[in-house]
Amino acid sequence: IGRICNFYGNFGVMVKAYAYIRSLGAEGLKEVSENAVINANYLKEKLKAYYYLPYDRTCMHEVVFSGKRQKAKGVHTLDIAKRLLDYGLHPPTVYFPLIVDEALMTEPTETESKEALDAYIDAMKEIAREADENPEILHTAPHNTPVRRLDEARAVRQLDLRWRMGNQGTKESTL
């Protein structure tokens, strides 16, 4: 693999973070931090009737739901995350933290507007309804993306780190 040398970290990321903090100042940083907490608690209050909330208390910058209610209908957290793609939304972190069964961890940022949060809430409510009435639509999601659901077990067994169009090239992976 060649010579191994020291890694100096993500210097560019550190510069961006430093510039962000400096541009906000002490008061601005406090304000955006409060916004992240408010956004997470807004989601918690609006969705706790639809998704099981293992820890019903004031949350900080993230809210963790469980898909236990939906699991009883045969719908898993991964199905919910894939269905969110059909709504044009980035899915939350799934299956983490590990201590929460069917975990859905949503971390709304400090810059999310109320309209964006409401769109996410509406999509999550609709997905909860679909899980009750038509779970098959979640099992086959996503439907509106260029790439459908991947066979994740096969992807692990047959690792291919090279992109090629169609069937061109060999079946062997190269780096």
What would the pLDDT profile of 86-140 be if each residue is shown by its tens digit?
A: 999 999 999 999 999 999 999 999 999 999 999 999 999 999 999 999 999 999 9
64 has which bridge partners?
105
Domains, the chain: 11-157 (3.90.1150.10)
Q: What is the DSSP letter of 94?
A: E
Three-state DSSP class for residue 52:
strand
pTM given for the model: 0.81
The answer for residues whose C-beta is within 8 angstroms of residue 125's C-beta and 6 or more apart is 47, 50
Question: Residue 64 phi/psi, 5° resolution?
Answer: -115, 115
Render pLDDT for 19-58 as a digit per residue (tens, 0 to 9).
Answer: 999 999 999 999 999 999 999 999 999 999 999 999 999 9
